[in-house]
Structure 1
Amino acid sequence: MGRQTLRAVEIRLRANCEFREPPRRGGLRHGTVRARTPFFACLALLAVFVGVSTTLADPPATSPAPNDRVTPETIDEQLKRIDAAEGMDDETKTTLQKSLQQALKDLETARHWAASAERFERDAATTPDDLAATRDELDALPREPAAIPADAGLTQLEQTLSDKTAKVAADKAQLAELDAEPKRRVDRRAKAPKLIVALRERLTDVERQLQGLASAANPSEVDSARRLALLAQRQAMEQEILSHEKELLAYEKRVEWLPLRRDLVARRIALGERETTLWRDAVNRRRHQEAEEQLRLAKQAEAEAHPAIAGLAERNAQLAERRKDVSLLIGETTVQLDQTDRQLATLREQFKRIEDRVEMVGRTKTIGSLLRKEREQIPDVRAHRQKLKHLHALIGQCQYERLELEDRRSALSNIDSEVRRHAQTASLRGDAAAELENAARRALETEKEYVDNLIVDLDRYHYKLLDLAAAEEQLTTQTAEFVKYIDERVLWIHSTAPLSLASLAHSVHAAAWLTDPEAWFQLGRSLWEDMKSQPIPGILAFLILAPLVWNQRRLRRKTTEIGTTAARTNCCGILPTVEALFLLVLLCAAVPAMLWYVSWRLLAAGSPADLAEAVAAGLTYSASIYLILDLVQQMCRRDGLAQSHFDWPEAALKPLRKYIQIAKVSVLPSVFIAVSMAARANNSLADSLGRFGFIAAMAFCSLLAQRAMRYHGPLYQAMLPVCHDGILNRLRLLWYPVAVLMPLVLAALAATGYYYTAFQLAGRLVASAYVLLGLVVVRSLLLRWILVNRRKLAIEQARQRRAAAQAEGKLTEETPTASDIPTPTEQTLDLATINFQTRRLVKYSLTVAGTIGFWVVWVDVLPALRIFDRITLWQSADHSRVTSLADAFLAILAFATAMVAARNLPALLELAVLQRSKLDPSLRYTVAAIMRYASIVIGLLVGCHFLGLRWGTVQWLVAAISVGLGFGLQEIFSNFVSGIIILFERPVRVGDVVTVDDITGVISRIRMRATTITNWDRKEFIVPNREFITGRLLNWTLSDQVNRITINVGIAYGSDTQLATEILTRIVREQPLILTEPPPRVTFEAFGQSSLDYVVRCFLPDMENRLAVIHDLHMSIDREFRAAGIEIAFPQQNIHIRSIPAEAGLLGMRSGPRPEPLPTPKLRAGDDDPPARSRQVA
């Protein structure tokens, strides 16, 4: 009753079913029926528990009558009747046709399921025979490989080796399937009963629908079509149920056969690999024997050859020698290929074993120990990549050599011409000439044979190299994946137990081992014996280290002298800073170099080995930290690099030196103990004394960080005036707790059992400190370089201004000291702008470099950094390219870098390169602008590459957008293209004097959309770029900066015109800035209304001193004319009076006595002044 209720509920919840293809023969997966809803899955599971035992034995719900069997022909006939039906509408026809087409698919599915059921039934029936045959085959396998025929040729050996290799590969593939088969069968045993229950439920639903159609008195064509579809559906479900039942029965009967079959295949693989090795060795031996025999014959022929063909014989001997070498290379490559294949198989097996254990056991202490052990044994990926790079180089060399041989083979295609050439060279006659020709022919034919053989061997060598490169690439990829898998898990697993009283006992034992006098005495004696047995390393170390130690005081004194020189305000070079840094490295390298040498010799000849290894590891790591601390301490000396070169606050250097000295005394011994114990193979000693040393080092680091970086401390107070408004001070509440608490957190991790995690994180923190120190030093060096370059440019500009002032002062004492016209030939550098932009670029570049450096340091430790690469944003249509969140971050970084570079790179380029070149300012501006646009384009291309946008995928979109923008923003695009034309064609340049729309000025900027013109009033006139390309433009200085000055001079009537001409000509010729070619001209132009008009025309080399020269000419003309008594005429105006009013008598215009003159009116306050120029009334 319960099962009927479940079926009724499911019938109401589920519609028509959907089938999957039946399993293929030999496949590892079988089709399943997907549940439509989670509720149906629950119903199926409940049905399994209620009646799974009876389900397997139940027959189908109803046995179909013979006339209920559907065939494809029946459905085809029904389709034809539907097509021929006239009273049926098109929509009904289409629905029925789709239903019948689905019925055809169901029949095909039923046929496949029937074949699958028949196959499973056959497998179950033949199980006893298969077991017997497998046992017989297993017993018949030989214990040893068959002997290789002694008379087999090289071709036969190679063919047999190829067949056996292919057979082993096929057996390995079969073994992989057999290994995976048990797990697949377990899954199928769990799923098949559920599938059977679900299919029976759906089959009941189909039966009810068929009964409903059968009750109709007069079934229509629609009912007939639906009935056929349901019958086809029922057949498919019945065959699927039968297939699942037969499958489960076959699994039960073939339980014993599967492991037996696996043993057979494994034995066959082992035997095949041994046979393959034997046949491969035989092939290599036979190939080498043939090459040696060929070489012997070639040497013999060379010794007996006629002098005229000695070159041919020698070349044949070289070819034979090369073939021998190639045969050896083939053998070596084959051995390497076998080793690589074995390494790859072993690595895959280890990887699979580790994955299974981690999944089964979890992240326990034992698993952590196993992962660390595997991590230490994994070969370095960089070695594999280096080997792969070498293999690619060998492949290229092999291909090139083969091409050379092909060319020689082509030349040997016509042997007769070669024979005649050698015969003509020998100049022999008669029988001797014929004998020589025969010998030459034999030699050339032999060479042809040798070349063919060598080409064949090179092809074999090339194929082996390709196989080895492919295997090495797979090994590299698998190794990287294995390392990544371990690194993502090993860091967060307990490596040891938390600290306890037992740890103290182990620490005492470890301290006794580390300080054992007998062991140290033996260690020293081994070092002495090593020095006596191998004196050369010791002598070289002494010759290198002795001068460093002896010259310590001299190096300090030299560094101080260089600092004094660099501190001067007139120091304009970076070389003193570089020299001081180099001397500082030499000064600090003595002690670390000695420690490194001792650790090297301890590893080479130290005894006892465990103590030598521990002490060498501790000395090596401690020497590295000592070098960094000593470098910073020596930098902070008085008049040292930090004070004199980098301009660090003097008050901060003394406390910094003190804290570094404390770190040397306190932290270094603890680091030595921790690292030495970590190098021990005995984990109990490493996790006890080494852990206590690590905790002590972290405690000292935290204390020093707190004392050095506290707000009221001397160091921070000394740095506060410098970084008061900087990001360092603003983010103090963030970085100060991290710097103080991070060592304590690591110490707590070590104490609670995460010692490996804490040790690794501490190592990355030290590496991060190295990166940070390197960034600080590089930043200081760059800022110093910017400072000295800015200082040099400022001095140079001051000299230029002084020289220009002196040159202008020679014109005349009254000449202005500066011109009102901006110089078009020399663009003044804005030092403040360049300094700001360069500093900003340095800041951003160091930020990017620091980000990359920290990423390299931490990416192998923190798996969280790799999670971004697993978050897929989108992928290409063919799934060949996946864009992750990490790619998006890199794209944003590329875009930001491009924008910053576009804004600041031109200034840096100007400061570092262009201002030192001989290019004119306009060309320098063009180069800087092109670099700006190139930075933007490169940034866009790189960013789009990270986002997976390729030209082939977005070209249609770019074309559509281009057309749309071309119509919508055609003015902007026109200006943009015009700007590009201006930059390359250069019709106008920065600094040119131009006239556009009655506006005259100097081109000051050329941008992407518009160009800026600065007129003489210092107003900026923005002109779209298209105006310079399509409009009319007057460029005063495009190809020739020579310009003409025109001065109009009017003298009074009655003046000596000859004298005036001579004076004007002399004044123009005496002006030093006026060109003599073209020559100046003085012309008497016209008799004016009130003056005799002269025009002075002269030419200047440029626009720089135009106003100054005009001023000087005007002053000289006025002065010389006054001295010569030549009057410069005033403007005159004639008034003709045609009517005389009554008051005309007052003006004396009538006869009679002359009247008294009118009194001059007095000006009142506020009246305008009288006109400056008088008028002559006629």
Structure 2
Amino acid sequence: MPLIILLASLAVGSKVLAQEAPTVTAGSLGTLEDAVREATALTDEERAPLLLDLQQAAQDLARAKQLRQEADSYRRAMETSTDEVERYNDLVRGMDEAPPSVEDRLGSDPDLEDIEAELDIVEARRRSLAEQRTTALAALGDRSSGDSDPQQRLAAVTAELEALQAPPAADGSLNARVSAAAQTAEQQRLEAEAEMLKLRLRATPAINAIRTAKLAWLDASLARADALLGALREAAATTRESAAARRIEETRRIAGEVDNSHPDVLALAEENISLIRDQQRLADALADARNDTAALRDLSEYIEEDYRLTQRRLEVAGLEGKLGQVMMTRLASLPDKRDIQRGTAVRNEQLADVSVNTIDTDEALRQSTRRSAYLRERFPNFEDWTRVERRVLDRLYEQRRDLLREKLEAQNALLRLLVDTNQAAAGLIEATEAYEAFLTGNLLWIRSYRFLDPAELVAQLWSLLDPAPFLSVASHWQQQLRNPATLLGLVLIALLLVNRRRILAAQQALLGVPIRPREESPRKIASGVALGVARSALLPGFLLLTAWVLASAGGDSLATEGIARGLGTAGALIFGLQLAMSVTARVGTGRRLLKWNNQKTDAVRRDLPWLSIVLPIAAGLSAFARTGWGEKSGGALAALATFTVSLAGLIYSVRLLRSGQFSGDTLGKFFLRAAALLSGAAAFMHLSGQLFAAHLYLTALGWSVAAVALTLFVMNVLQRIILIYRSRLERRQREELRAQAEAEAASDTDSERDNQLSERDIDAVASLSDAQGRLLGALRLAALATLLWFIWSPALPAITLLEDVTLWSTADPTLPEGELRPVSLATLIIAALVVTLTTLLTRHVPPLVQVLLMEYASVSAGARYAIGMLLQYVIIGVGASVSLGLIGFAWSKVQWLVAALGVGIGFGLQEIVANFISGIILLFERPIRVGDVISVSGYDGTVVNISARATVIETFEGKELLIPNKDLITGVVNNWSLTSSKLRIVIPVGVAYGSDVRKAMRILVEVARDHPAIIDDPAPVATFEDFGDNALTLWLRCYAESEFIHRWTELRTDIYERLNKAGIGIAFPQRDVHLDAAEPIPVQLVERPVVEKN
């Protein structure tokens, strides 16, 4: 069909071109434009469209000229194609005949500087060749489609020429002349384009032949450049070693001119020799860094180039089986990102070491700059030496200074090069991730039924039974035994085997009998889990060790690597399933220590025995097949194995749902339904030929099950541990309250205030249950969301699309200068999750820490409160910093906002900020603590809360007052219990004149000493202070540690009773009563009633 269209287009085009048609030139268009502009008969509205037509005609003429030039290039390509292809072939043959060598380019004995200069030249040449190859390969592989296709475009141009009417006969009017010129210019453009397209179609084979020959020459040139680079690097290394050896020999020769009477000179020579060796190591490190940078960039360019080619092939060929096999091969050949990241980590450590050494080198160079001062400090008597000795010292000094300068330059160059290498590694990771995401996203929809070939299944089974990998291990068993990792594994397996019965006995002793609440402890939970791990690790450990040995001894054998991966996968699954069976056993950790529901645990455990056999075998076979037959998604064996895993997962999930034990568990029911759905979908994908998608989703499902199980188990353990602590605290506080009540009853004193304080502590402990439940629930959801995001993001293109939606870009100081980091929708979602998690942690972590401090540390209530508040501020600060950093709000960008806030604070917010800063000072310096008794602003009370703005004190009348924090810092505050909880109690007592003062003072001291709340040091003191108008004034001074109001009342009551009993009266004021005698005062006698006695 395309050939018919092409012939028809050629025929019509020939007919059209055969017609005689007038031509138009740029000069004639200029003349017409002048005439239009100078025409007085035309209005502006009539002149504008004519000028636009002439402008379009000029553009058509310019485009026609370009098309003719392009047509000439195609014509020249057809004429010279044979010569060009032969020229490139001759160049390739010439390269084969004369391989590159260092001697041919630099002579027989080149200097190190010449070799390094030649290295730079060849590397620049290689980069130029690589760029040319990328351009040539893109041009050769370009397969255009749509309107840009030459055949389709030629048909469209031919149709336009047919539809184009002949230019009207010029009647002399300006409008007709402009219209004819515009139509003629358009016709010329179309004719030039038609000619160009025909030549392009005819020249395509010749151009492709030239490009293919040029690509072969570029490949040969790159190979030649690589060989020359390798030879130059080897020559540079050899020359560096020779140069270092010569400099060391020269240093020793110089030092040999001085006898052993100057050991400090010999020490200087040894230091110079050490510097020479350091310089050689730095040169080697520089060469390695250059090689690493070049290799990383080449690999990154190759991946990007292959990415573009695969995209173009996919656009042309679509998703079909053969292309899918090619894409599978490409996916399997991508570099391992973990290896790249490990190399980056090693370079970061090297950067740190070189940075520190650079500082030391710079300091040493500064000290060596002033010759006289340096020599006088190190060699005090060098001026008294002989001329020969001073000459040797000068030469060594100059050599040291030159070596330090060279070392500093090399260190700075190495630092820059290591940074460039890390940037190249980051670019390689980015290119790998992009290509991997592209391949994965397209392979999900490719169908292939090649795995149904029985012959391939037989071949895979025979490969599985091949004894060669194990024979390789047997032939290298001595080498394997010298491996520390192998020896450690053997020791651990031997210990597990020898102590197997002891482990079982210890587990039975711990979990064999029910554990009462008082006997529960976090140590027992940890012991139960550890015993379960030890009991489940014997067989998995043996399999994992065997996999390690095979992988170490197998070399590059795919069969050995496949068996090693299969054994490792099977061992990991066996360990997980056996551990789950151990935890869910009737005498397991879950039932005995974590108090799991028996019915739900039985439902979970019911199918684990047969799953522990089926899943490891199937997963191990799948890993083996996918290693050796990765381009076929593992072939028939992997398809059969993963289909078995899919059915097992579907059966297990459905049986758990039908058990009815998860009907009230929303989260558990959701995960089980998702697992059943994904397992069934994976099984269906096997039947529909989407083997790659089935493997990908099934792998993600397996990791998701492991992540969910581990997260729920860890959160359950944490919840149980916190409940144990809560129960301990509640029991201890109840016992303390009971003992306190008994003591108060025995001493017959009031204990209302003590009870209130203890009840507050009990309320704090009781609130721990709700707080830890909300906190653990939030942590569980956050952990599951994060893990599932990372597990499923490579498998679900919809999740990856969130990272492709760029909202804005921001500068990142970790990136090279000028590069911007995109802030995607996924980044915004992560920032919102960080804010949510920060809010939950701010609310629930500080109370939890305070209660734990109450249990494990002898920390006062004020200190616990201060620690909780500071922790809250730290969590808020870290969460705000992380979330703002994710969305690109760096400090440099918000400086103007901080400045504006500073102006606002100076006017309207100064009081709020002053109170906030004062609150932080109170928490750090702790001049006032929760529980302190203070006097401020005329109020007395106990501090009960220190918030960000104000401090709450509770007066002795039970009122709560809010005191701004600023007043507590800038004002006068009397803290009665700042350095000590002791408070002096002063009670004045007035006794009547004539009383025995010494006896009264003795009674006061005895009352204080007999009271249990009054401390003995300092001892109570009674003093005789004054002769009052109505009484003899005595003062009692003593100290108490708490409940001062109650102590005042109790002491006054005891004093009154003791004085009355001793016959000492409490004085009262004497008053003179003056009666108004202006009138007679009536007097009446009243008889006392007589009381009869029985």
User: Scaled by the length of structure 1, what TM-score is found?
Assistant: 0.73
User: Could you say if the C-alpha distance between residues 246 and 161 of structure 1 is closer, same or farther in structure 2, counting changes exceeding 3 Å?
Assistant: farther
Shift, 1:474, TM fit: 3.0
Deviates more, 1:1053-1062 or 1:741-750: 1053-1062
What is the aligned-residue RMSD (CA, Å)?
5.6
Shift, 1:590, TM fit: 0.9
Structure 1 position 945 matched with structure 2 position 885: yes
Q: How many Å separate the matches in 1 of 2:925 and 2:648?
A: 67
Q: How many Å separate the matches in 2 of 1:236 and 1:630?
A: 86
User: Could you say if the C-alpha distance between residues 742 and 174 of structure 1 is closer, same or farther in structure 2, counting changes exceeding 3 Å?
Assistant: closer
Say if 1:823 and 1:1104, in contact at 8 Å, map to a contact too.
Answer: no
Structure 1 position 486 matched with structure 2 position 442: no
Structure 1 position 359 matched with structure 2 position 319: no
Structure 1 position 302 matched with structure 2 position 252: yes
Say if 1:492 and 1:754, in contact at 8 Å, map to a contact too.
Answer: yes
For residue 887 of structure 1, what is the aligned residue in structure 2? 827
* 1:363-378 equivalences in 2 (<5 Å): 363-378=319-334
Q: How many Å separate the matches in 2 of 1:55 and 1:927?
A: 97
Shift, 1:915, TM fit: 5.6
1:1102 aligned partner, one-letter code: E
User: Could you say if the C-alpha distance between residues 194 and 1018 of structure 1 is closer, same or farther in structure 2, counting changes exceeding 3 Å?
Assistant: farther
Structure 1 position 496 matched with structure 2 position 446: no
User: Could you say if the C-alpha distance between residues 590 and 966 of structure 1 is closer, same or farther in structure 2, counting changes exceeding 3 Å?
Assistant: same
Say if 1:365 and 1:496, in contact at 8 Å, map to a contact too.
Answer: no
* 1:733-812 equivalences in 2 (<5 Å): 734-798=670-734, 800-801=736-737, 804=740
* 1:314-713 equivalences in 2 (<5 Å): 314-395=270-351, 397-398=353-354, 401=357, 433-447=386-400, 465=418, 468-496=421-449, 509=458, 513=462, 543-563=491-511, 567-571=515-519, 573-601=521-549, 616-650=564-598, 653=601, 656-665=604-613, 667-672=615-620, 674-679=622-627, 681=629, 687-688=635-636, 690-712=638-660
- Helix, strand or coil at the partner of 1:747: helix
Shift, 1:478, TM fit: 1.9
Structure 1 position 857 matched with structure 2 position 791: yes
1:1104 aligned partner, one-letter code: E
Say if 2:1008 and 2:1038, in contact at 8 Å, map to a contact too.
Answer: no
Say if 1:572 and 1:792, in contact at 8 Å, map to a contact too.
Answer: no
- Helix, strand or coil at the partner of 2:943: strand
2:1040 aligned partner, one-letter code: P
1:358 aligned partner, one-letter code: L
- Helix, strand or coil at the partner of 2:1041: coil
Say if 2:992 and 2:1064, in contact at 8 Å, map to a contact too.
Answer: no
- Helix, strand or coil at the partner of 1:1124: coil
User: Could you say if the C-alpha distance between residues 251 and 276 of structure 1 is closer, same or farther in structure 2, counting changes exceeding 3 Å?
Assistant: farther
1:64-93 Cα shifts (integer Å, max 9, x gaps): 58776679xx99xxxxxxxxxxxxxxxxxx
Deviates more, 1:380-389 or 1:1050-1059: 1050-1059
Say if 1:891 and 1:943, in contact at 8 Å, map to a contact too.
Answer: yes
2:788 aligned partner, one-letter code: F
1:238-275 Cα shifts (integer Å, max 9, x gaps): 99999998788778778589668755687478447635
1:764 aligned partner, one-letter code: A
User: Could you say if the C-alpha distance between residues 235 and 312 of structure 1 is closer, same or farther in structure 2, counting changes exceeding 3 Å?
Assistant: farther
User: Could you say if the C-alpha distance between residues 1087 and 943 of structure 1 is closer, same or farther in structure 2, counting changes exceeding 3 Å?
Assistant: same
1:858-917 Cα shifts (integer Å, max 9, x gaps): 222222222211223344699935332212211211111111111111122223447644
Q: How many residue pairs are counted as aligned between the two chains?
A: 1027
User: Could you say if the C-alpha distance between residues 54 and 407 of structure 1 is closer, same or farther in structure 2, counting changes exceeding 3 Å?
Assistant: farther
2:849 aligned partner, one-letter code: L
Shift, 1:381, TM fit: 1.0
Structure 1 position 150 matched with structure 2 position 107: yes
1:863 aligned partner, one-letter code: P
* 1:1092-1111 equivalences in 2 (<5 Å): 1092=1031, 1094=1033, 1096-1104=1035-1043, 1106-1108=1045-1047, 1110-1111=1049-1050
- Helix, strand or coil at the partner of 1:948: coil
1:44-81 Cα shifts (integer Å, max 9, x gaps): xxxx99x998999775599758776679xx99xxxxxx
Say if 2:275 and 2:403, in contact at 8 Å, map to a contact too.
Answer: yes
Shift, 1:389, TM fit: 2.9
1:100-124 Cα shifts (integer Å, max 9, x gaps): xxx99x99x9999999987877787
For residue 1061 of structure 2, what is the aligned residue in structure 1? 1122
For residue 88 of structure 1, what is the aligned residue in structure 2? none
User: Could you say if the C-alpha distance between residues 412 and 894 of structure 1 is closer, same or farther in structure 2, counting changes exceeding 3 Å?
Assistant: closer
Q: How many Å separate the matches in 2 of 1:242 and 1:896?
A: 68
User: Could you say if the C-alpha distance between residues 323 and 664 of structure 1 is closer, same or farther in structure 2, counting changes exceeding 3 Å?
Assistant: closer
User: Could you say if the C-alpha distance between residues 1135 and 562 of structure 1 is closer, same or farther in structure 2, counting changes exceeding 3 Å?
Assistant: farther
Q: How many Å separate the matches in 2 of 1:526 and 1:181?
A: 48
* 1:100-139 equivalences in 2 (<5 Å): 135=84
Say if 2:675 and 2:701, in contact at 8 Å, map to a contact too.
Answer: no
Say if 1:823 and 1:1103, in contact at 8 Å, map to a contact too.
Answer: no
Shift, 1:492, TM fit: 3.4
For residue 843 of structure 1, what is the aligned residue in structure 2? 777
Q: How many Å separate the matches in 2 of 1:978 and 1:422?
A: 55
User: Could you say if the C-alpha distance between residues 1100 and 730 of structure 1 is closer, same or farther in structure 2, counting changes exceeding 3 Å?
Assistant: same
Shift, 1:832, TM fit: 0.7
- Helix, strand or coil at the partner of 1:745: helix
2:1054 aligned partner, one-letter code: M
Q: How many Å separate the matches in 1 of 2:638 and 2:219?
A: 49
- Helix, strand or coil at the partner of 2:929: coil
1:1005 aligned partner, one-letter code: N
Shift, 1:1001, TM fit: 3.4
For residue 834 of structure 1, what is the aligned residue in structure 2? 768
* 1:724-1123 equivalences in 2 (<5 Å): 729-730=665-666, 734-798=670-734, 800-801=736-737, 804=740, 813-819=747-753, 830-875=764-809, 880-913=820-853, 916-957=856-897, 960=900, 976=916, 979-980=919-920, 982-984=922-924, 986=926, 988-994=928-934, 1000-1016=940-956, 1018=958, 1020-1022=960-962, 1025=965, 1028=968, 1035-1038=975-978, 1041-1045=981-985, 1047=987, 1060=1000, 1062-1068=1002-1008, 1070-1071=1010-1011, 1073-1074=1013-1014, 1076=1018, 1079-1081=1021-1023, 1083=1025, 1086-1087=1028-1029, 1092=1031, 1094=1033, 1096-1104=1035-1043, 1106-1108=1045-1047, 1110-1123=1049-1062
2:1041 aligned partner, one-letter code: D
User: Could you say if the C-alpha distance between residues 331 and 1043 of structure 1 is closer, same or farther in structure 2, counting changes exceeding 3 Å?
Assistant: closer
Say if 1:825 and 1:921, in contact at 8 Å, map to a contact too.
Answer: no
Say if 1:291 and 1:327, in contact at 8 Å, map to a contact too.
Answer: no
Q: How many Å separate the matches in 2 of 1:768 and 1:832?
A: 35
User: Any unmatched runs of 5+ in structure 1?
Assistant: 1-47, 76-94, 216-230, 1149-1153, 1161-1178
User: Could you say if the C-alpha distance between residues 60 and 1000 of structure 1 is closer, same or farther in structure 2, counting changes exceeding 3 Å?
Assistant: farther
1:661-683 Cα shifts (integer Å, max 9, x gaps): 24335555554555555555399
Q: How many Å separate the matches in 2 of 1:685 and 1:270?
A: 34
Q: How many Å separate the matches in 2 of 1:234 and 1:1018?
A: 104
For residue 278 of structure 1, what is the aligned residue in structure 2? 228
Shift, 1:961, TM fit: 6.5
User: Could you say if the C-alpha distance between residues 783 and 1000 of structure 1 is closer, same or farther in structure 2, counting changes exceeding 3 Å?
Assistant: same
Percent of paired sites with the same residue:
21
Say if 2:570 and 2:619, in contact at 8 Å, map to a contact too.
Answer: yes
1:534-561 Cα shifts (integer Å, max 9, x gaps): 6778987665434423432321221233
Shift, 1:355, TM fit: 1.8
